[in-house]
């Protein structure tokens, strides 16, 4: 490590610029990782909500339409129409979790029928 008192102004400026660049890259990577992690948690929350809906309100009243399918579709379409504003990504992720749970259930039912 250089003795700071022996560095020229230009060397100090270059070292400061390098440190700022490292800090900026670290901040960007941290923000990206946080977005990815948050998205995964919101998708999982949608899956949990699908489980609750399947147990408490499995179908839209007076129909055989699964509630999680309707709510998940509404969330994704709402996000597509910018209904969630700054939170559109989270609204879409929550809907994706609901839809993934519905897709898993329907796939399992189809496979059971096949034997």
Q: Which residues contact 46 (CB under 8 A, 6 or more apart)?
A: 72, 75, 93, 94, 95, 96, 97, 98, 99, 100, 101
Residue 2: what pLDDT? Answer: 58
Task: Give percent of the chain with pLDDT exceeding 90.
Answer: 85
Name which residue leads in pLDDT, 7 or 78: 78
* Residue linked to tokens 């989270």: 90
Name which residue leads in pLDDT, 12 or 89: 89
pTM here? 0.79
């Amino acid at each position: 490590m250089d003795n700071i008192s022996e560095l020229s102004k230009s060397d100090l400026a270059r070292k400061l610029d390098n440190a700022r660049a490292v800090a900026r890259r670290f901040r960007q990577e941290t923000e990206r990782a946080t977005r990815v992690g948050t998205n995964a948690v919101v998708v999982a929350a949608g899956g949990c909500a699908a489980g609750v809906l399947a147990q408490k309100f499995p179908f839209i009243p007076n129909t055989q339409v699964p509630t999680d399918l309707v709510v998940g579709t509404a969330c994704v379409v709402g996000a597509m129409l910018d209904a969630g504003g700054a939170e559109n990504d989270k609204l879409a992720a929550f809907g994706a979790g609901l839809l993934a749970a519905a897709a898993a259930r329907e796939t399992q039912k189809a496979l059971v029928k096949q034997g």
